[in-house]
Amino acid sequence: MDVIEEQQWEPKILAFCCNWCAYSGADLAGLNRMKYPENIRILRVPCSARVNPQFILRAFQKGADGVLVAGCHPGDCHYATGNYYTRRRFQVMKRLLEYSGIDPRRFQAKWVSGAEADKFRATVTKLCEDVKAIGPSRKLGGSK
Amino acid sequence: MKTIAKSRINEALAILAKESKLLVPMKVNGISKYAPWGSEGTIQFEEVNTLLPPKDTLFPHTEKMYSYKIANQEITELNIHDDSAPQILFGVRPCDMQSIKCMDDVFLTKSYVDDFYKNKREKLITICIGCTKTAPTCFCDSMGVDPSRHEAADVQMYDLGDSYGIEAQTEAGQTVVNKLQELMEDQAGDPTAVSCTLKVDASGIPAKLSTMFEHPIWKEISRKCIGCGTCTYLCPTCYCFDMETTNNGNEGYRFRCWDSCMFSEYSRMAGGHNPRPSKNERIRNRFLHKLEFFNERYGKNLCVGCGRCIAKCPVNVDITLFIDKLKEVAADEPV
Amino acid sequence: MSQCKCENPLVPSVVTVLKIVEETSDIKTFHVSTKDGKKPFTPMPGQLGMFSLLTVGEGMFSVTAQGENHLEFAIKKCGMLTDALHEIKPGQMMGVRGPYGNGFPLDLCKGKDMLFIGGGIGLAPVRSLIKYCFEQREDFGKIDIIYGARSMNDLCFKEDLFENWPKERDTNVHVTVDSGDENCPCHIGFVPAFLEEINPNPQGKIVVLCGPPIMIKFCLQSLTKMGFTDEQVITTLEMRMKCGIGKCGRCSIGSKYVCLDGPVFTMAELKHLPNEF
Amino acid sequence: MSDTTVKMRDIAKDLLDKGTVHYIIGWEKGRFSNQSPPAFITSAAHADRLIWDEYCLASTAKYLLDDKFPAGKIGIFARGCDARAINRLIQDGQINRENIYIVGICCSGMKDPATGNTADKCQHCTHPNPIVYDILIGDPVPETDKPERFKAIEELEKLSPDEKHAYWSKQFEKCIRCYACRNVCPACNCRECFVDQYRVGWQGKQNNLAENQLFGLTRAYHIADRCIECGECARACPMDLPLMELNRKLIKDINQLFGPYEASLDTETTPPLAKYHLKDLEEFM
């Protein structure tokens, strides 16, 4: 990656947003004209528990530089217990990713409720800055 | 006979490595395989054989065939991939040379030539070193391979203790020997004959197997198999491959990669029908292919007796035990 | 058997889909030709082509017919690739390589009466030989065509079945459907039963049989009952083929490779092979 | 060891003669002295093929999956790790307990055929005595908790991200995707593995670092809370990948996060990732 390409490089960040809270939080952020970096690609999922941890590995492999899983606060889940499983699942996956050498700042899981538009914006902006600081993801055979 | 002192072998390797990529048996990262000379690892000329066969120099585990670019309905670009380069395979053992000969039959004959293999094969020079000792799992002389030499190698070398006897067997080999002229002396010395400790009587097997398709021996032999691909991926003569496509937006490439008849979805068809549904049929197919089908089609056994599958099978499925049991059993009477 | 002329047998040549004919709800016929309007290759009857939608994969299909400068492939929707093929529109560029396989033994069939038995999509490979017989009509004797499908709208190549072929000299076409209401124009019943009803005499006749395995099994029983010998019955095998050039081991039965030594075998040859297909 | 062999043979003859079992799975000698692969004894006459020595390394439990609806009971000789593997298969709903007759053997550890000293999987074994059996051979061997089995993991955790990446890349580059690790693992018992679902596209068939690592990490995660630490995956791997260092990392994390837990000591406790607790540690606020 020569220097010129370094400046033009824009991180690609994939965000799994649960339809009931995180996605409506992002929607609200848009309604309130909140500015957050456009490197984020939002993928709407019915519940944060729908996100199979293998999706995270596949995302990094296919060239994502950062991944965010955003779901409802524990107790608010539209399907009652979804995010409790998500919590356990991604606490373990986070450590496995770190153990295999992926910088912990690249993968974030956050609870964002439908009203917390600003929290969504802050989370995404911080994730984007962190990933920009670290540089493109080579790990897990990240493409280009 | 012309010889090179073992102490000067590194100089010889340096000369050979000048024009072409030189592959030598090395232990890299804990695995003994053929690796480019100079990559970090320890060179192993004294070991009997490598764990990974030289198969992937000519038939790589994964090989790009052609890449393409698409613009909605148009195919804007389709170019064939060819990364073949002059290579020298140094230190091949006679059993692996025989496996290269089997692969040549498959990929270069019978009305179609596989260009990917041909391009690599034409640029390969093989330097075979005869064995002076054998591993407990070697049984190459029972399968018709002479452990001390192989006539298909470009250059044949013999281990004479503190030096290597060297003789060219093809003109490609002669060019290599000419390059090493100044390192060579004239010395008398004859290669020590060696024979395998593991003996198997492989005579008459194809005829007997041709009548044993429904024999109960298959169930008994295959029962402990766990259906993994270790034996087929370590076998120097297994050449089955699969072809798949990878896309990335509007471009991608088609590649071919090793496949194993021991995998469950190897012969599963679109409708779900699978002519070899359980491991019983798969083990039968593998042993029949090694010892009978290949013989019928190409006139030589597909098992070269290198013993890698015996050494590394997690549950010790053993083709030599199968051959022994085959001798005791009459063609149709149950085991 | 004409040799595949593209220099690397595993790399397809680029063709464009000219026309797509909707035979039935799940069978379509694709007319393809190269960019400069010629046939990518000239197959013999019964030979196969490896048809590839580059981003999805490749599949081996028999060339059901060929015109002056186009080839026809009939493809039934039953898998990942065939689903994708049924989505494409004319003008789509594809990859095609071939011809592969041994094709029908024309010298064995010359001068004989021909009995064609097809089931569902099984008519596609047989149709290439039927059309060849009509082009060289004098080389062949009487021609009987028995074709069956599940229902009226599952019959493919209707235009040939009901208009073109019955008009040919000394030819009769028998069409049956497994189930249909009373005003259905053709016979109702399974192909094996229909075959026994017609009861063709085996004298000097070659049978070309292709269809779902269950139909082949029962037709064989009725044919042997009627006195047909194994040498007289020819069939094309449907195996999982990957490379098409007899190397990759996918379509192997015993020491034979279906894509190279087949897919056309006489029943006598099939009896020698281990029954693993 | 030899009186265990005698007991094994007598029990096998007795079970087969009386017809309590249809056949019995044990071990027999291979061609070489350091090989004792699994054996399937179908009649009392063959019972003398059975052997118990320090090379009975392969697990017998997963063969129960080849015969899910057996004609009669299946006999099986089970060491500590096989007994836990049987519990694992029962808890995953693959086999039911009534179909099998378990002859437990207290195991004092096996030898590595290549080096002759104690096999890795047995060095770290915490349950050498079978926890489920119909009859037991031999008297129980002392069991210790062996916390040092996580030492290698703690060493790796101290490395920097790039060193960790370098270490695991070096390991996964060796993988030849023979799937021996998946095929020996009792916790890997899906009807159709994601690896074979090539139409769905979970993972490419190429053999490069990216696909190998995706397979390795995914498989480790799939069995994270059901792994019984039998070590068969690391033993069966022809390329000697340190697979247990992945599985034990996940077990260590699960113990720390959700409380001490060992897989399949019984068939009732739900694995930790299949349940939740309202008061779980909160990290994603």
What residues of C are in contact with residue B266 (Cβ under 8 Å)? 250
Instruction: Return the structure tokens found at C8.
Output: 């690397």
Q: Note the pLDDT of residue B333.
A: 55
* Cβ pair D220:A102 closer than 8 A: no
Subunits close to C (at least 3 CB pairs below 8 A): B
Quote the minimal CA–CA distance from C109 to chain B in Å. Answer: 25
Low-confidence residues in chain D, pLDDT < 70: 1
* Radius of gyration over every alpha carbon of chain B, rounded to an integer in angstroms: 22
Q: Note the pLDDT of residue B268.
A: 86
Q: Which of B188, D250, B66, D198 is nearest to A53 (CA)?
A: D250
What residues of C are in contact with residue B240 (Cβ under 8 Å)? 248-250
Q: Note the pLDDT of residue C213.
A: 82
Mean per-residue pLDDT, A90-106:
93
Interface test with D, best of A97, A99, A110, A120 (most D CBs within 10 A): A99
pLDDT tier for residue C143 given thresholds of 50, 70 and 90 = very high
* Cβ pair B74:C93 closer than 8 A: yes
Residue B188 reports pLDDT greater than 50: yes
- Of B181-190, B191-200, D180-189, D250-259, least confident by mean pLDDT is B181-190
Closest partner residue to C240 (CB to CB) among B267, B292, B293 is B267
Q: Which residue of D has its CA nearest to A120?
A: D285
B228-270 residue pLDDT tens: 999 999 999 999 999 999 888 889 999 999 999 999 889 888 7
B9-49 residue pLDDT tens: 999 999 999 989 999 999 999 999 999 998 889 999 888 99
Instruction: Return the structure tokens found at D267.
Output: 């068939």
pTM strictly above 0.90: yes
Q: What percentage of chain A has pLDDT greater than the value 70? A: 92
3-state secondary structure of C59: strand
What residues of B are in contact with residue C96 (Cβ under 8 Å)? none
Mean per-residue pLDDT, C37-55:
92
Closest partner residue to A92 (CB to CB) among D165, D203, D253 is D253
Closest partner residue to D276 (CB to CB) among A58, A85, A95 is A85
Q: How many CB atoms lie within 10 A of CB A133?
A: 10
* Cβ pair A98:D161 closer than 8 A: yes
B73 contacts: CB under 8 Å, gap ≥ 6: C89, C91, C92, C93
**How long a stretch of residues is chain C?**
277
Buried b (16+ CB within 10 A) or exposed e, C23-60: bbebbbbbbbbbeeeebbbebbbbbbbbbbbbebbbbb
Residue C2 reports pLDDT greater than 70: no
Determine contact: B285 vs chain C, CB below 8 A.
Answer: yes
Closest partner residue to B61 (CB to CB) among D66, D207, D232 is D207
What residues of D are in contact with residue B315 (Cβ under 8 Å)? 37-38, 58
pLDDT tier for residue C6 given thresholds of 50, 70 and 90 = low
What residues of A are in contact with residue D173 (Cβ under 8 Å)? none
Instruction: Return the structure tokens found at D131.
Output: 């926890």
Residue B190 reports pLDDT greater than 90: no
C196-228 residue pLDDT tens: 988 888 888 999 999 888 898 899 899 999 999
Q: How far apart are CA C233 and CA C108, in angstroms?
A: 11
Determine contact: D1 vs chain A, CB below 8 A.
Answer: no
3-state helix, strand and coil shares in percent for chain A, rounded to the nearest 5? 50, 15, 35
Determine contact: C79 vs chain B, CB below 8 A.
Answer: yes
Q: Note the pLDDT of residue C1.
A: 39
Distances (CA, A) of A3 to A6, A8, A135, A139: 5, 9, 12, 20
3-state secondary structure of A42: strand
- Contact indicator for C143, C137 with CB cutoff of 8 Å: no
Residue C4 reports pLDDT greater than 50: no
Closest partner residue to B230 (CB to CB) among D38, D178, D198 is D178
Tell me the H-state helices in chain C: 80-85, 106-109, 123-135, 158, 165-167, 191-198, 213-225, 258-261, 267-272
Average model confidence (pLDDT) across chain A: 90
Residues 179-218 of B with CB under 8 A from C: 213
Domain locations in chain B? Answer: 2-328
Quote the minimal CA–CA distance from C122 to chain B in Å. Answer: 15
Q: What percentage of chain C has pLDDT greater than the value 90? A: 58
Q: How far apart are CA B18 and CA B139, in angstroms?
A: 36
Using CA of residue D248, residue D253, residue D256, residue D258, what is the dihedral sign?
negative
CA dihedral of C267, C269, C272, C277, whole degrees rounded to 10: -70
Amino acid at C99: P
Determine contact: B260 vs chain C, CB below 8 A.
Answer: no
A39-50 residue pLDDT tens: 999 999 999 999
B203-236 residue pLDDT tens: 989 999 988 998 999 999 999 999 999 999 999 9
Residues 23-62 of D with CB under 8 A from B: 30-32, 35, 37-40, 58, 62
Determine contact: D281 vs chain A, CB below 8 A.
Answer: yes
A27-36 residue pLDDT tens: 999 999 999 9
Instruction: Return the structure tokens found at D5.
Output: 């062999």
Q: Which of A117, A90, A87, A85 is nearest to A104 (CA)?
A: A90
CA geometry: angle B236, B241, B244, nearest 5 deg: 145
Q: Which residues of B touch D (CB under 8 A)?
A: 29-31, 51-52, 61-62, 136-137, 198, 220, 223-224, 226-230, 232-234, 242, 244, 246, 255, 257-258, 260, 263-265, 278-279, 310, 312, 314-318, 320-321
Q: How far apart are CA B185 and CA D260, in angstroms?
A: 70
Quote the minimal CA–CA distance from B2 to chain D in Å. Answer: 38
- Contact indicator for B101, B63 with CB cutoff of 8 Å: no
* Cβ pair C92:B276 closer than 8 A: no
Q: How far apart are CA B78 and CA B254, in angstroms?
A: 10
Amino acid at B285: N
Q: Note the pLDDT of residue B334.
A: 52
Q: Which of B232, B196, B231 is nearest to B312 (CA)?
A: B231
Residue in the block written with tokens 């010790």: B316
Quote the minimal CA–CA distance from A123 to chain D in Å. Answer: 11
Mean per-residue pLDDT, B200-204:
90
* Cβ pair D221:A96 closer than 8 A: yes
Q: How many CB atoms lie within 10 A of CB C155?
A: 22
pLDDT tier for residue B332 given thresholds of 50, 70 and 90 = low
Q: How far apart are CA C243 and CA C221, in angstroms?
A: 33
Instruction: Return the structure tokens found at D101.
Output: 């007759």
Closest partner residue to D180 (CB to CB) among B136, B230, B310 is B230
Determine contact: C245 vs chain B, CB below 8 A.
Answer: yes
B124-169 residue pLDDT tens: 999 999 999 999 999 999 999 999 999 999 999 999 988 999 999 9
Provide DSSP, C209-221: EES-HHHHHHHHH
Q: How far apart are CA A49 and CA A84, in angstroms?
A: 8
- Contact indicator for C175, C147 with CB cutoff of 8 Å: yes
Asked whether at least 3 C-beta pairs link B and D within 8 Å, the reply is: yes
* Cβ pair D217:A61 closer than 8 A: no
Interface test with D, best of B244, B316, B320, B321 (most D CBs within 10 A): B316
C174-186 residue pLDDT tens: 999 988 887 788 8
Q: Note the pLDDT of residue D1.
A: 54
Quote the minimal CA–CA distance from B28 to chain C in Å. Answer: 30
Q: What percentage of chain B has pLDDT greater than the value 70? A: 99
* Cβ pair D213:A141 closer than 8 A: yes
Query: Which residues on neighbouring strands pair with residue D104, listed in sequence order?
Result: D78, D136
Q: Note the pLDDT of residue B260.
A: 95
Q: How many CB atoms lie within 10 A of CB B19?
A: 11
B275-325 residue pLDDT tens: 899 999 999 999 999 999 999 999 999 999 999 999 999 999 999 999 999
pLDDT tier for residue C146 given thresholds of 50, 70 and 90 = very high
Instruction: Return the structure tokens found at D150.
Output: 């996580």
Q: How far apart are CA C33 and CA C52, in angstroms?
A: 14
CA geometry: angle C174, C175, C178, nearest 5 deg: 135
Interface test with A, best of D157, D190, D207, D217 (most A CBs within 10 A): D217
Q: Please, what are the domains in chain A?
A: 10-134 (3.40.50)
Q: How far apart are CA D52 and CA D138, in angstroms?
A: 12
Q: How many CB atoms lie within 10 A of CB C107?
A: 7
Main-chain dihedrals φ then ψ at residue A110, nearest 5 degrees: -140, 145
What residues of B are in contact with residue C238 (Cβ under 8 Å)? 269
Give D107's Cβ-side CA count (13 Å radius).
31
Domain locations in chain D? Answer: 3-137, 147-274
Q: How far apart are CA C53 and CA D45, in angstroms?
A: 59
What residues of D are in contact with residue B227 (Cβ under 8 Å)? 183
- Contact indicator for D88, D80 with CB cutoff of 8 Å: no
Q: How many CB atoms lie within 10 A of CB B149?
A: 19
* Cβ pair B31:D32 closer than 8 A: no
Interface test with B, best of D66, D211, D241 (most B CBs within 10 A): D66
What residues of A are in contact with residue D158 (Cβ under 8 Å)? none
Asked whether at least 3 C-beta pairs link C and A within 8 Å, the reply is: no
Interface test with B, best of C10, C52, C216, C269 (most B CBs within 10 A): C10
B58-100 residue pLDDT tens: 999 999 999 999 988 888 999 999 989 999 999 999 999 999 9
C227-238 residue pLDDT tens: 999 999 999 887
> Residue D97, Cα to own-chain centre: how many angstroms?
18
